[in-house]
Amino acid sequence: MKDINTMKATVLTAALPYIQKYYGKTVVIKYGGNAMIHPDLKKAVMSDIILLSLVGIHVVLIHGGGPEISGMLKKLDIESRFVNGLRYTDKETAEVVQMVLAGKTNKDLVGLIGQLGGKAVGLCGIDGCMIQAKKLEGDYGYVGDITKIDTAPITNAINSGYIPVVATVGTDCKGNIYNINADTAAAEIAAALHAENIITLTDIRGLMEDVDDEDSLIPVVHVDEVESLVEKGIISGGMIPKVQSCENAVRAGVQKAVMIDGRIEHSILVEMFSDEGIGTMFLP
């Protein structure tokens, strides 16, 4: 039996072609779900991101914070309401979203990366007017429809040796604050950065034919198939903006978009450093 050091060396050698493939490339990771709540999973995700950064991959971490926002709204006795998978956001809720995402969640993640030996800088879409938005059509309140992404704050952070950690709050020229769906923002940012890959962490294995049967995973979806999957009800509810964001990123030139199970420790490394990958991959 191989000793532990030999096994470690074998794993590193097997990862080398993938490290070479992604060296100097940009990978956008959308972070949410249980991976944000469970301490061990959170630590594993941040460790993965630090490792990717140290081997020369430009990682951009985009995060939401739905559970923390809901928790704060509950404390303030403000009702949480969702429309077509998006949080209805009145003026009061928009202020809470900004406070929680940019003021707490973002800085917690930056701090954890620092504790684990990485270098990160926290940003939100208001910084440098990075995420410019207008009201999304429909009855959503101050949910934002992105009009422009200015990547300068992100690229400046990367060029200075930092991992950009981005909270998805947007603004317009009048100073209004918008709640931006994190999946949508991640796709738009990936496209604007000409990213090689976008990885979305979810609380399920990926896209499944039957949401109650984890063995029904669909490993590969071509973007032209998305519309029919929505019509069949395979893609529904909160999964709609996630899948549509993957579709939009690929159509905008991102090489591939992958939805993976954030409940599995080091799922990011499994996805990036193996041929089989994990979860559902969206391709042109």
132 within domain boundaries: yes
Q: Which of 11-20, 29-38, 94-103, 242-251 has the lowest mean pLDDT?
A: 29-38
183 within domain boundaries: yes
What DSSP assignment string belongs to the chain? ---HHHHHHHHHHHHHHHHHHHTT-EEEEEE-THHHHSHHHHHHHHHHHHHHHHTT-EEEEEE--HHHHHHHHHHTT----EETTEE-B-HHHHHHHHIIIIIIIHHHHHHHHHHTT--EEEEETTGGG-EEEEEPSSS-BSBEEEEEE--HHHHHHHHTT-EEEEE-EEE-TT--EEE--HHHHHHHHHHHTT-SEEEEEESSSS-BSSTT-GGGB--EEEGGGHHHHHHTTSS-TTHHHHHHHHHHHHHTT-SEEEEEETTSTTHHHHHHTSSS-SSEEEE-
**Mean pLDDT rounded to a whole number for the chain:** 92
Average pLDDT for 145-166: 97
79-121 pLDDT, tens digit per residue, is 888 887 788 999 999 999 999 999 999 999 999 999 999 999 9
Instruction: Say how many domains are in the chain.
Output: 1
45-66 pLDDT, tens digit per residue, is 999 999 999 999 999 999 988 8
14 within domain boundaries: no
Check whether 34 has a pLDDT greater than 70.
Answer: no
pTM for the whole structure: 0.93
pLDDT for 106: 96
- For residues 187 and 200, what is the distance between their CA atoms, to the nearest angstrom? 10
How much of the chain exceeds pLDDT 70, in percent?
Answer: 99
116 within domain boundaries: yes
pLDDT for 239: 85
177 within domain boundaries: yes
Q: Which of 25-29, 94-98, 235-239, 246-250 has the lowest mean pLDDT?
A: 235-239
53: domain CATH number is 3.40.1160.10
- For residues 96 and 98, what is the distance between their CA atoms, to the nearest angstrom? 5
pLDDT for 62: 97
Label residue 33 left, alpha or beta by phi (over 0 means left) and psi (-120 to 50 means alpha).
left
262 within domain boundaries: yes
pLDDT for 173: 86
Burial 188-205 (b: 16+ CB within 10 A, else e): bbbbbbebbbbbbbbebb
231 within domain boundaries: yes
17 within domain boundaries: no
Instruction: Show the domain range for 219.
Output: 24-278
Check whether 2 has a pLDDT greater than 70.
Answer: no
